[in-house]
Amino acid sequence: MINDKGSIISVKVMTSNMDDRKPVPEMIAELWGYLYGDKGYISSSLERELVNEGGNTALFLKYLN
């Protein structure tokens, strides 16, 4: 995870068979504000959890090639 300046603020090493979205709530527990991610993180349940639990606003972007 990086901040708006591109500095690494959080890292989570996982096995290859783990869903990338699973550690997100834990990784941002102490953060607030906006969370941006790519299409690999799109999940309505994750977005609801982030808004309900932490007051974060999640914006997941789909990039066109």
Pairwise CA distance, residues 53 & 6, whole Å: 25
**This prediction's pTM:** 0.56
The partner residues of 38 in beta bridges, in order of sequence, read 61
Q: Which residues contact 4 (CB under 8 A, 6 or more apart)?
A: none
Across 1-65, the runs of DSSP E, i.e. the strands, are 34-38, 57-61
Q: Express each pLDDT in 24-62 by its tens digit.
A: 778 777 777 777 777 677 677 777 777 666 565 556 555
Instruction: Determine the Cα–Cα distance for residues 57 and 7; give it in Å rounded to an integer.
Output: 20
8 beta partners: 2
The pLDDT confidence band at residue 10, using thresholds 50, 70 and 90, is confident
